């Protein structure tokens, strides 16, 4: 539940940043949402393949039997509930997806101010 609130808030923030850059805020909010989900997916893969390889039997996911898949899913649930640092790592990867889109938005050109010729500036000096 907290994930959805964080995703919505971060999507809103990038949407407002896009609006300030004269971009479509809904589109950039949606891109942020999917980047957050993709970051979380990458985080799950890093946690499972990097930190939990010895406790989770990954061969059960490739079998066609639904029962063995359920056993592997229960193993993952036990590993994630036993160590909350895994869940925090996954969330940080999701926030990394948000930061990637924010970086891309910051590189976009913003509003252009009115151009003032240097000769126009000379008349403004009150001596």
Is 14:32 a contact under the CB 8 Å cutoff?
Answer: yes
Is 43:90 a contact under the CB 8 Å cutoff?
Answer: yes
- pTM greater than 0.85 (yes/no): no
pLDDT band at 40 (very low <50, low <70, confident <90, very high): very high
- Would you state the pLDDT for residue 61? 65
Round the average pLDDT of the chain to a whole number and report it. Answer: 85
Residue 37 has pLDDT above 90, yes or no: yes
Sign of CA dihedral 74, 76, 81, 82: positive
Question: What H or E segment, with its residue span, contains residue 51?
Answer: none
- Would you state the pLDDT for residue 105? 94
Long-range contacts formed by 81-86: CB under 8 A, 24+ apart: 86/47, 86/51, 86/52
Residue 14 has pLDDT above 80, yes or no: yes
pLDDT tens digits for range 73-121: 788 888 888 888 888 999 999 999 999 999 999 998 877 767 777 766 7
The domain locations on the chain are: 2-122
Residue 127 has pLDDT above 70, yes or no: no
- Would you state the pLDDT for residue 82? 85
């Amino acid at each position: 539940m907290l994930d959805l609130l964080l995703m919505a808030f971060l999507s809103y923030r990038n949407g407002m940043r896009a609006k300030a850059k004269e971009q479509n805020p809904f589109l950039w909010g949606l891109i942020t949402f999917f980047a957050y989900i993709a970051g979380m997916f990458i985080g799950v893969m890093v946690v499972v393949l990097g930190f939990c390889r010895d406790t989770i039997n990954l061969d059960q996911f490739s079998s066609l039997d639904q029962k063995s898949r359920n056993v592997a899913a229960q193993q993952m649930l036990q590993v994630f509930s036993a160590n909350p640092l895994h869940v925090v790592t996954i969330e940080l990867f999701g926030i990394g997806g948000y930061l990637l889109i924010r970086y891309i938005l910051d590189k976009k050109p913003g509003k252009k101010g009115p151009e003032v010729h240097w000769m126009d500036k000379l008349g403004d000096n009150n001596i």
